[in-house]
């Protein structure tokens, strides 16, 4: 059910920090973001390039559940953990509550079907795709959760997953950390992964993901859970984490702990400027890196956990 009211938070930020700020806001539960006169849905790059040294105002909308002071404190804390956000780099102000907005319907203006690799087609419920022999189609409606596949981070992950599933030793068990709409988990299951566990700490995201799993008749293969990564049992052939760079670093040990020997780790949600930090954190004899892939300002890193000899 849609919330009755929303509160908006204005974020004053330079153009070079707009993408990072929007990612933080979405991670903290924002259900829609505007950057001045542009629509910024975290899935598509604005038509007019942002000027790195120009100041912009991002307006982020949140369901009016917690006191505004508490929301501001939570956002301030989240931004303070970003080394690039030096004192004064980002400022926050709150507005009064606003009437409800049908964000789920608004995605229809920005999301259309597309293909990843030779076999995977992703489409929303309001489109009927053309599916050739040997291809599979998955139906994804993002609602108020991150992940249509059009954003560079999600697309990079999908491409890396498809590449692994088309290899000779395709992964049979996958763990999706920060699943959002469930697109990565559903795509992997549709392409042949036998067992997929998808986790997200956001209850709204898990609800959307579960609906998408049921819509694609993959309940027997995909389990959606709110359990934190540290409490999930078992090891997996493939672990995917499409989250912020800092979260990838924080969860490093837990991510590696959930890998089978010889298993693959896919990390995304990483701005190019943060790639050295993540690469340094995961450097070590047990993890073998393959050349990273990138799109726009985002990078996807892929590692294989060495087998014990």
Residue 17 has pLDDT above 60, yes or no: yes
Q: What are the boundaries of each domain within the chain?
A: 5-101, 106-305
CATH number of 5-101: 3.30.70.240
Task: State the CATH class of domain 106-305.
Answer: alpha beta
In this structure, what token pair is assigned to residue 103? 């964000």
How distant, in Å, are the alpha carbons of 69, 125, 173, 180, 230 from that of 210?
32, 15, 18, 10, 21
- Mean pLDDT within 270-277: 90
Provide, rounded to the nearest whole percent, the portion of the chain with pLDDT above 70: 80
Dihedral pair phi/psi, residue 273, rounded to 5°: -70, -20
- pLDDT of 292-307, one tens digit each? 999 888 899 999 998 7
- pLDDT of 41-61, one tens digit each? 333 334 455 677 788 888 888
pLDDT at 42: 36
pLDDT band, very low/low/confident/very high, at 142 (cuts 50, 70, 90): low
Q: What is the pTM of this model?
A: 0.69
pLDDT at 36: 66
- Mean per-residue pLDDT over the chain, rounded: 81
With a CB cutoff of 8 Å and minimum separation 6, the contacts of 267 are 241, 248, 255, 278, 282, 300, 301, 302, 303
The larger pLDDT score, comparing residue 244 to residue 218, is at 218
pLDDT at 46: 41
**Which has the minimum average pLDDT: 27-31, 119-123, 158-162?**
27-31
Phi-psi category of residue 90: left, alpha or beta, with phi > 0 → left and psi -120 to 50 → alpha: beta
pLDDT at 57: 85
Residue 272's Cα: distance from chain center in Å? Answer: 16
pLDDT at 140: 84
pLDDT at 1: 36
């Amino acid at each position: 059910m849609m919330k009755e009211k929303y509160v908006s938070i204005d974020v004053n930020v330079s153009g070079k920090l707009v993408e990072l700020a929007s990612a933080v806001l979405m991670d903290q539960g924002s259900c829609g973001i505007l950057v001045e006169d542009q629509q910024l849905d975290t899935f598509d790059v604005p038509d007019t390039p942002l000027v790195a040294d120009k100041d912009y105002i991002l307006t982020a909308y949140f369901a009016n559940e917690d006191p505004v002071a508490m929301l501001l404190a939570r956002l301030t804390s989240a931004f303070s953990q970003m080394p690039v956000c030096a004192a004064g780099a980002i400022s926050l102000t709150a507005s009064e509550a606003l009437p409800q907005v049908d964000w789920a319907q608004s995605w229809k203006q920005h999301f259309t079907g597309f293909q990843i690799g030779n076999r995977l087609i992703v489409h929303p419920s309001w489109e009927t795709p053309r599916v050739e022999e040997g291809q599979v189609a998955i139906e994804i409606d993002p609602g108020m959760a991150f992940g249509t596949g059009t954003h560079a981070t999600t697309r990079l992950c999908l491409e890396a997953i498809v590449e692994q599933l088309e290899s000779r030793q395709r992964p049979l068990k996958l763990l999706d950390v920060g699943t959002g709409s469930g697109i990565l988990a559903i795509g992997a299951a549709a392409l042949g992964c036998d067992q997929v566990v998808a986790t997200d700490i956001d209850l709204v995201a898990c609800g959307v993901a579960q609906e998408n799993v049921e819509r694609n008749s993959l309940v027997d293969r995909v389990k959606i859970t709110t359990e934190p990564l540290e409490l999930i049992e078992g090891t997996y052939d493939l672990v995917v984490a499409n989250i912020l760079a800092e979260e990838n670093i924080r969860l490093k040990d837990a991510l590696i702990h959930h890998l089978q020997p010889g298993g693959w780790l896919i990390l995304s949600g990483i701005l190019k400027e943060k790639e050295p930090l993540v690469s340094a954190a995961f450097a070590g004899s047990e993890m073998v890196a393959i050349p990273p892939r990138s799109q726009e300002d985002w990078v996807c890193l892929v590692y294989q956990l060495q087998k014990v000899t």
